[in-house]
Amino acid sequence: MFLNYVNNIRGVAILFVILAHCFSCVPSQGWGILEKFSSNFAVPFVGVAGFLFAVLLPKYTYRAYMLGKFKYVVLPYIFMSVPAVAIYLTGSKTTHTWVDMDWFSTSLNPVQQYCYLMITGAHLGPMWFVPMVILFYPLFPFFRWMKDRGFLGGVFVLAFCSALIVGRPWYNSNVLQAFVYYMPAYLAGIWLAENRWAYENVRLDARLVISLVISFMLLSYASLGGDSRIDLVMKLVLFWGLLCFFYHYVNKPIPFLSVCASLSFYLVYAHGYLTGAIRMLYQKDVLSDGGIFLVGGAFVLVLAISIGSYYLLANVLGDKKRYFLGA
């Protein structure tokens, strides 16, 4: 059975991922709490991935699973990375937030530069997510063994403690650290898929649950700041709250969210180019004004162009589109 409520949550998560990057590229003062709330929706996004993994697990062999991920995640990542990688390999871009570009340009040959960028995702803001999430795929046998043997709870506690120790890497500059940080979200998704009573049978009204969760998060951000460890806890609770709410009240196809969910990996790729272009316009003083209204405008523009570009490219690529676009 298709789980509409889970698909809708995935659509919401990718929308907030895009919104967070619009906040980061448009100057905006006085909206710190809203910006903190919108950030790190990769946690529920990864949580949905774990949930769907558990649901679909009986349908896959390890070989079929890995082959599917190679065709529909790795190949699109390679294709969609070409423009961003080319900018660095040709020397057109000589600055980076966390890569030492002197070392990059003088110590690595072009093949090594390409491999470095693809392994780290350093060539474009959101691209770090793909090499990070790819690390989950070879662990298919471990996740299946852990689930079948009843070790999920213990492994989650260990992963959660590890994530709190390491935190989220600065500017997503370390794929392995990010993998450790997001592992609890993936495991939480698996656990919730196996224990649906945890959100289906909540006695409180789900609307009250999600309202309390969001209110608690906003108060926490206002008083405790945006530490990545606190944020992980907040977003894990939010993921549970979203399951409660969407299961009871949004458990039907929502066309717009369905589109965003089905194109989610393509949107990860495409919106990075657009938010990067907006950031460049501010750096070159082509744009100077900021504020929440421009953040909203950038969000609508980036989302519209991203979705529109998918349908244009899909029309050209035909039935091969998933190999190139991931959707």
Q: What is the pLDDT of residue 70?
A: 97
pLDDT (tens digit, 9 = 90+) per residue, 157-216? 999 999 999 999 999 999 999 999 999 999 999 999 999 999 999 878 889 999 999 998
Q: What is the pLDDT of residue 23?
A: 87
Q: How confident is the model at residue 2 (pLDDT cuts 50, 70, 90)?
A: confident
Q: How confident is the model at residue 27 (pLDDT cuts 50, 70, 90)?
A: confident
Calculate the CA dihedral of residues 293, 302, 311, 38 and round it to 10 degrees: -90
Calculate the CA dihedral of residues 126, 129, 134, 136 and round it to 10 degrees: -170
Q: What is the pLDDT of residue 303?
A: 97
Q: How confident is the model at residue 29 (pLDDT cuts 50, 70, 90)?
A: low
Helices (runs of H) and strands (runs of E) counted in the chain: 19, 0
Whole-angstrom Cα Rg for the chain: 20
Q: How confident is the model at residue 290 (pLDDT cuts 50, 70, 90)?
A: low
Q: How far is CA 111 from the centre of its chain?
A: 28
Of 210, 160, 287, which is closest to residue 5 (Cα–Cα)?
210
Distance CA 24, CA 92 (A): 23
pLDDT (average), residues 34-58: 93
pLDDT (tens digit, 9 = 90+) per residue, 99-156? 999 999 999 999 999 999 999 999 998 999 999 999 999 999 999 999 889 899 999 9
Q: How confident is the model at residue 31 (pLDDT cuts 50, 70, 90)?
A: low
Q: Check residues 32 and 187 and name the one with the higher pLDDT.
A: 187
Query: What is the percentage of the chain residues whose pLDDT exceeds 90?
Result: 76
Phi then psi for 164, rounded to 5 degrees?
-70, -30
Q: What is the pLDDT of residue 25?
A: 84
Q: In the predicted model, is pLDDT for residue 306 greater than 90? A: yes
Computed over every residue of the chain, the mean pLDDT equals 92
**What predicted TM-score, i.e. pTM, was given to this entire model?**
0.94
Q: How confident is the model at residue 232 (pLDDT cuts 50, 70, 90)?
A: very high
pLDDT (tens digit, 9 = 90+) per residue, 51-92? 999 999 999 999 999 999 999 999 999 999 999 999 999 999
Sign of CA dihedral 257, 250, 243, 296: positive
Q: What is the pLDDT of residue 288?
A: 66
